[in-house]
């Protein structure tokens, strides 16, 4: 049944926005950036001056449905949604409206996409994620999720270079690198705190010029919103320091890439099902089923979570990217790493980390897909095989076969074929969105058909 947006809801939203506009104006805000993420994982935006925001909050901002057919390079893929006739409405989520500390004068809100007649747009990934979150709740479960953000910093001038050299030359996890980026990091952390983002950790990562930041868990839709906000803030503050940033899965062919790991836990009646259970490492049967549902669908999930051709230059063994379909306790080479936390805090902290995904993914589509897979696992009482407690790449083919550990797809085409025939995803997405996702992915594959690794990385580096 299609839920229509009622006239009263629109008036209430507009009235609420009126109050918020006053406060934002006092804080020096001039305009609101309303964002959504497209099929290819690019965050697209419409800006609304404060004077027009009340109306936009109630009745929406115009946006073409053709955005669903955009590739990461802005090409328009020939699909039914690429029809130039028609228009949608972006409805900013007033619960997330916030002044941007890293972009003085701007505020931000993530938007849902509705039709002009007040129906949810079937291609809106944020509404899809909300539906999956509600479906989980209808089954009696609540999920908490958090995206880890990794990025590489460059001096702005390197953007023009054929082979850009990252900034912050200090060693991986090194205090030297933190000192080199000290002022940038402090302004970034201050901006995120001012925007209500609860950062838990910040550190220099493994690759040259790479940094990482992790945030507190939230309900899934909120975690995807936060991923968008955090990346925008990282980029905006960097620009004020003469720095360019890349969140692309691979910024240098052969190097360690940027992951976009997703942590997720599920609770029932306020009890975290990833702790205090009678299964391995304290898992409950339900947490095992949820995780099993994800594990068994990883090849298809990669078409959502590792959706760019460049993703497969990151998703390599011995890169801590989780290139094998297996799970293990704190195993950084497993696609699913069980994280328990310390004794005494596990009821709060235990979760599973999906490592094989990166930030070319649309975070809303990704949380929707993970919830769909987890729900399918719960409904089918899925179980987990033996955990893997070493680098699966160090095993022989035969040992891996005995353990049931498979290499994940090594190219996007394999993942796309798996997605096309995975009912847990195609049913959740619906035929229109499924067809659009497949068409956009296949166009990206065709676009890079003759490209070598360096060319793919160069074409992707500054898109994310």
SS (H, E, C) 281-345: HHCCHHHHHHHHHHHCCHHHHHHHHCCCCCHHHHCCCCCCCCCEEEEEECCCCEEEEEECCCCCC
Check binding of 227 to ligand GLU (CB under 6 A).
no
Any idea which residue has 């990217």 for tokens?
Answer: 321
Residue 206 or 462 with smaller CB distance to ligand GLU: 206
The residue whose Cβ lies closest to Mg ion is 212
Q: Which residue from 320, 324, 425, 429 is in contact with ligand GLU, where contact means CB under 6 A?
A: 320
| Partner touching 93 among Mg ion, ligand GLU, none, CB below 5 to 8 Å by kind | none
- Is residue 286 a contact point for Mg ion (CB under 5 A)? no
Instruction: Give the shortest CB-173-to-ligand GLU separation in angstroms.
Output: 10
Long-range contacts of 268-272 (CB under 8 A, 24+ apart): 268/140, 268/141, 268/142, 269/140, 271/347, 272/346, 272/347, 272/348, 272/350
Given the complex with ligand GLU, which of 40 and 248 has the nearer CB atom? 248
Phi–psi pair at 208, nearest 5 degrees: -55, 130
Q: Which contiguous run of DSSP H or E holds residue 18?
A: helix 7-26
257 binds ligand GLU (CB under 6 A): yes
Q: Does 314 bind ligand GLU (CB under 6 A)?
A: yes
CB-based contacts of 182, cutoff 8 Å, min separation 6: none
Minimum distance from residue 454 beta carbon to Mg ion (Å)? 24
Task: Tally Cβ neighbours within 10 Å of residue 341.
Answer: 14
**Beta strand pairing call for 106-115 and 88-92:** antiparallel
The first and second tokens of residue 425, run together, are: 């995803």
Closest CB to ligand GLU among residues 205, 218: 205
Chain positions 146 to 185 lying near ligand GLU, rule: CB under 6 A, are: 150
DSSP 3-state of 21? helix
- Closer CB to ligand GLU, 215 or 256, in the complex: 256
Q: Is 321 in the site for ligand GLU (CB under 6 A)?
A: yes
3-state helix, strand, coil in the chain (%, to 5): 45, 20, 35
Question: Which positions from 330 through 349 interact with ligand GLU, judged by CB under 6 A?
Answer: 332
Residue nearer to ligand GLU on the CB measure, 231 or 319:
319
Distances 185 to 46, 322, 349 between C-alpha atoms, Å? 28, 28, 26
Interaction of residue 328 with ligand GLU, rule CB under 6 A: no
Indicate the residue among 128 and 185 with the shorter CB distance to ligand GLU. 185
Binders of Mg ion in range 307-336 (CB under 5 A): none
- In the complex with Mg ion, the residue whose CB is nearer, 330 or 386, is 330
C-alpha R_g of the chain: 21
Point out which span in 60-68, 123-131, 313-321, 443-451 binds ligand GLU (CB under 6 A): 313-321
* Residue span 185-224 as binding mask against Mg ion, x where in contact by CB under 5 A, dash where not: ---------------------------x------------
Closer residue to Mg ion (CB): 215 or 458: 215
Supply the minimum distance, in Å, between the C-beta of residue 210 and Mg ion.
8
175: left (phi over 0), alpha (psi -120 to 50) or beta: alpha
Residue 207 CB neighbours (<10 A): 20
Give min distance, CB of 161 to ligand GLU, in A.
Answer: 22
Asked if 219 interacts with ligand GLU (CB under 6 A), we say: no
Q: Which stretches of the chain bind Mg ion, using CB under 5 A?
A: 212
Q: Which stretches of the chain bind ligand GLU, using CB under 6 A?
A: 150, 205-206, 256-259, 314, 319-321, 332, 355
């Amino acid at each position: 049944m299609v839920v229509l947006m009622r006239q009263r809801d629109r008036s209430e939203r507009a009235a609420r926005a009126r109050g918020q506009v006053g406060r934002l104006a006092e804080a020096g805000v001039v305009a609101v950036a309303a964002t959504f993420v497209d099929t290819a994982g690019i965050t697209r935006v419409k800006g609304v001056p404060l004077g027009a925001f009340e109306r936009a909050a109630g009745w929406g901002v115009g946006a073409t449905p053709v955005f669903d057919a955009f590739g990461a390079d802005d090409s328009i893929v020939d699909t039914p949604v690429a029809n130039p006739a028609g228009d949608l409405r972006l409805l900013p989520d007033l619960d997330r409206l916030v002044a941007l500390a890293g972009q003085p004068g701007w505020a931000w809100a993530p938007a849902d996409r509705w039709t002009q007649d007040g129906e949810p747009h079937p291609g809106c990934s944020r509404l899809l994620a909300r539906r999956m979150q509600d479906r989980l709740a209808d089954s009696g479960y609540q999920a908490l999720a958090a995206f880890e953000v990794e990025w590489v910093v460059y001096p702005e001038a390197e953007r023009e270079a054929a082979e850009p050299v990252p900034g912050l030359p200090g060693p991986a996890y090194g205090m030297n690198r933190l000192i080199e980026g000290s002022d940038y990091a402090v302004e970034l952390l201050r901006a995120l705190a001012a925007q209500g983002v609860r950062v838990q950790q910040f550190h220099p990562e493994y690759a040259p010029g790479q940094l990482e930041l992790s945030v507190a868990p939230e309900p899934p839709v909120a975690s995807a919103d936060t991923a968008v906000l955090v990346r925008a803030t990282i980029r905006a503050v960097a620009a004020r320091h003469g720095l360019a940033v890349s969140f692309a899965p691979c910024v240098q062919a052969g190097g360690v890439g940027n992951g976009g790991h997703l942590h997720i836990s599920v609770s029932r009646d306020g009890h975290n099902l990833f702790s205090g259970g009678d299964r391995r490492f304290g898992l409950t049967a339900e947490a095992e089923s949820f995780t099993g549902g994800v594990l068994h669908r990883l090849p298809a999930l990669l078409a959502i979570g590792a959706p760019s051709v460049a993703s497969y230059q990151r998703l390599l063994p011995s890169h801590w990217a989780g290139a094998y379909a297996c799970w293990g306790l704190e195993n950084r080479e497993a696609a699913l790493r069980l994280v328990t936390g310390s004794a005494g805090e596990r009821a709060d902290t235990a979760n599973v980390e999906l490592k094989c995904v990166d930030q070319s993914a649309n975070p809303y589509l990704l949380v929707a897909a993970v919830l769909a897979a987890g729900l399918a696992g719960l409904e089918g009482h899925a179980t987990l095989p033996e955990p893997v407690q070493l680098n699966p790449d160090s095993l022989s083919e035969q040992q891996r076969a005995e353990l049931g550990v498979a290499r994940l797809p090594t190219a996007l085409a394999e993942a796309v074929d798996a997605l096309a025939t995975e009912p847990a995803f195609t049913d959740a997405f619906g035929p229109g969105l499924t067809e659009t996702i497949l068409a956009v992915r296949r166009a990206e594959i065709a676009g890079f058909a003759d490209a070598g690794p360096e060319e793919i990385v160069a074409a992707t580096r500054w898109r994310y």
